[in-house]
């Protein structure tokens, strides 16, 4: 192109930009903002850069507040105030890192992109207001979209575990560990979405062999909690991944068959309340547990490379999903049911399941009825956990026969900046034909109540009084289904009415 032609093009572009600026200069700022409000984010950035006349009105904090509230829940409803000029930054950060989701990269775990993604996810979770005046929660919808589209699940479960990191120098750093724990906390908050058959039927489940090894690990290898009340987020995420495979994978014919026949109000749901530390538990629960043979359990705990597959039992039974009611008893009833023998095993106010003196080992496999009588239980030896606001629970349910349970719920400090976690301990027991507790069929449970109090992931174990690394144990999952019951029926706790299969 000749110099004269180049100058002509330059003059034309200059006149065009000038004319554009003149055109928008004639528009009121409110009309410019109305035009901008109908643009997508990419077009909005181009519109903002068009000229001074379009740039100026878009610096108004009110414009960004309106745009933010059209996409996300109002953080002021959860007591989290944004500065007047903070609406624009909060909106742009969330949009930039949530759509499309930033990928997890352990080798760059400390980079700013992943830090900003975690910050955005944590804000969307903690600022969600499900009972908003305009219908459903915008934040929960964005979280659902993230769960559906993010590759984070696959990338996290394909990464070395924290136990393996010492042999992987490239990912053996506190930055990587912290980022993984942050992601695990987020994944656990999305648990109900990740168990949805609408999205994940027939999908590939990544890292299942590693998850299976995790869920059968002993409490010595993988305690659910530490003495400071911190949740073992990695272990819980593997419990979720374990049950996700059995629930959503229709090829294995385990939990999928029973789960797929549940009504919409019988499957896991997100909470309908904003997250707080004092959210009450659901009253009616469904759930399941898994176990493998004792010798398989022992072999799976060895640090050698895995050389065999283990068949998870109970999940392919005719009735693998049990129903249970939980309630807070009166103080008198609590005294009646709070047997010292249970607390010696559960250690509800200490760290994960204390070491007990040796005793006889029942031969029954899995947390169901058994018929051997154990010896005396010794006192727990553990530091006291944070338990302000703790309360007792009682329950009853059906697992081939009627069972009862008793235990405690203890609020926990926020985990990775997210509130609403709890520790639940309970003893599952059966009543014999003489109306007495069958002490040979006691199965202890310790679980993490996830934020929202609608799901529990945890470990059951046999109370045989052996050292922690020898306890026979396995995973369980519970989810709240109050919506599937009549409110008066859900609150009534006199018998197992409706819990037994027809």
The Cα 474–Cα 216 span in angstroms is 5
The Cα 65–Cα 84 span in angstroms is 8
Higher pLDDT, 98 or 320: 320
Q: Which stretches within 127-173 are classed as H helix?
A: 138-149, 152-157
Task: Single out the residue of 191, 235, 189 nearest to residue 211, CA to CA.
Answer: 235
The Cα 242–Cα 290 span in angstroms is 10
β-bridge mates for residue 98, sequence order? 101
The answer to whether 138 touches 146, Cβ cutoff 8 Å, is: no
Task: Single out the residue of 312, 309, 430 nearest to residue 362, CA to CA.
Answer: 430
Please say if the pLDDT value at position 377 is more than 50: no
β-bridge mates for residue 474, sequence order? 460
The Cα 361–Cα 298 span in angstroms is 15
And the tokens for 181? 């724990």
Please say if the pLDDT value at position 497 is more than 50: no
β-bridge mates for residue 132, sequence order? 135
Q: Identify the band that residue 422 occupies on the pLDDT scale cut at 50, 70 and 90.
A: very high
Higher pLDDT, 232 or 401: 232
Higher pLDDT, 461 or 154: 461
The Cα 337–Cα 391 span in angstroms is 13
Among 267-271, 370-374, 387-391, 494-498, name the one with the lowest average pLDDT.
370-374
User: Kind and range of the H or E element at 92?
Assistant: helix 86-98
**Which pLDDT score, from 0 to 100, does residue 99 have?**
75
β-bridge mates for residue 410, sequence order? 423
The Cα 189–Cα 267 span in angstroms is 16
Half-sphere exposure (CA, 13 Å, Cβ side) for 191?
Answer: 31
The Cα 350–Cα 436 span in angstroms is 28
The Cα 206–Cα 209 span in angstroms is 9
**Which pLDDT score, from 0 to 100, does residue 82 have?**
75
**Which pLDDT score, from 0 to 100, does residue 170 have?**
54
Sign of torsion over alpha carbons 104, 109, 113, 116: positive
The Cα 499–Cα 61 span in angstroms is 55
And the tokens for 144? 């659902």
Three-state secondary structure along 264-293? HHHCCCCCCCCCCCCCCCCCEEEEEECECC
The Cα 207–Cα 213 span in angstroms is 10
Neighbours of 311 (CB within 10 A): 11
Neighbours of 331 (CB within 10 A): 8
β-bridge mates for residue 461, sequence order? 444, 473
Neighbours of 473 (CB within 10 A): 25
Among 32-41, 329-338, 436-445, name the one with the lowest average pLDDT.
329-338
Phi, psi dihedrals of residue 351, rounded to the nearest 5°: -75, 175
| pLDDT one-digit tens code per residue, 53-93 | 777 778 788 888 888 998 899 888 877 777 777 898 899 88
Distances (CA, A) of 199 to 131, 467, 477: 25, 42, 20
3-state secondary structure of 7: helix
The answer to whether 219 touches 444, Cβ cutoff 8 Å, is: no
Enumerate domains of the chain plus CATH numbers: 3-98 (1.20.1280), 269-491 (no CATH)
CA angle 331, 279, 334 (to 5 degrees): 15
Distances (CA, A) of 24 to 21, 141, 143, 384: 5, 36, 37, 67
The Cα 104–Cα 183 span in angstroms is 9
Please say if the pLDDT value at position 262 is more than 50: yes
Contacts of 43 (CB under 8 A, 6+ apart): none
Higher pLDDT, 395 or 146: 395
Task: Please name the residue that has the structure tokens 């250690």.
Answer: 347
Burial of 180 (0-12, 13-18, 19+ CB in 10 A): buried
**Which pLDDT score, from 0 to 100, does residue 323 have?**
92
């Amino acid at each position: 192109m000749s110099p004269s032609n180049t100058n002509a093009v330059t003059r034309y572009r200059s006149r065009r930009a000038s004319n554009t600026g003149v055109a928008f200069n004639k528009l009121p700022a409110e009309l410019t903002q109305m035009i901008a409000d109908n643009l997508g984010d990419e077009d909005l950035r181009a519109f903002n850069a068009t000229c001074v006349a379009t740039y100026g009105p878009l610096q108004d904090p009110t414009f960004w507040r309106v745009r933010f509230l059209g996409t996300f829940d109002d953080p002021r409803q959860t007591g989290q105030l944004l500065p007047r000029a903070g609406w624009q930054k909060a909106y742009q950060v969330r949009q930039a890192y949530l759509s499309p989701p930033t990928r997890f990269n352990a080798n760059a775990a400390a980079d700013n992109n992943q830090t900003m993604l975690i910050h955005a996810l944590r804000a969307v979770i903690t600022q969600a207001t499900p009972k908003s005046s305009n219908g459903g929660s915008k934040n929960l919808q964005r979280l659902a979209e993230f769960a559906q589209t993010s590759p984070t699940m696959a990338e996290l479960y394909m990464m070395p575990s924290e136990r393996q990191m010492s042999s992987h120098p490239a990912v053996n750093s506190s930055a990587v560990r912290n980022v993984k724990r942050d992601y695990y906390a987020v994944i656990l908050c999305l648990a109900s979405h990740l168990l949805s058959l609408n999205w994940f039927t027939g999908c590939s489940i990544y890292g299942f062999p590693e998850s299976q090894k995790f869920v059968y690990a002993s409490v010595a290898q993988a305690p659910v909690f530490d003495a400071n009340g911190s949740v073992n987020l990695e272990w819980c995420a593997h419990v979720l991944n374990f049950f996700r495979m059995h629930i959503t994978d229709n090829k294995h014919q385990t939990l999928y068959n029973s789960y797929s026949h549940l009504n919409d109000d019988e499957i896991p749901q997100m909470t309908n309340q904003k997250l707080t530390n004092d959210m009450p538990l659901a009253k009616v629960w469904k759930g399941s547990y898994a176990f493998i043979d004792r010798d398989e359990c022992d072999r799976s705990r060895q640090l050698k490379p895995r050389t065999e597959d283990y068949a998870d039992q109970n999940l392919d039974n005719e009735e693998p999903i049990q129903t249970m009611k939980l309630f807070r008893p009166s103080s008198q009833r609590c005294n009646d049911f709070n047997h010292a023998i249970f607390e010696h095993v559960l250690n509800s106010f200490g760290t994960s399941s204390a070491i007990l003196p040796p005793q006889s080992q029942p031969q029954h496999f899995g947390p169901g009825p058994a018929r051997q009588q154990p010896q005396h239980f010794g006192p727990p030896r553990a530091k006291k956990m944070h338990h302000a606001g703790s309360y007792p629970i009682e329950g009853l349910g059906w697992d081939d026969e009627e069972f009862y349970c008793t235990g405690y719920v203890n609020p926990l400090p926020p985990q990775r900046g997210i509130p609403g976690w709890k520790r639940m301990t309970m003893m599952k027991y059966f009543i014999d034909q003489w109306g007495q507790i069958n002490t040979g069929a006691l199965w202890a449970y310790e679980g993490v109540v996830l934020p929202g109090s609608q799901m529990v992931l945890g470990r059951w174990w046999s109370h045989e009084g052996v050292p922690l690394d020898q306890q026979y144990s396995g995973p369980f999952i519970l989810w709240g289904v109050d919506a599937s019951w009549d409110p008066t029926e859900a609150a009534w706790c006199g018998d197992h009415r409706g819990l037994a299969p027809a």
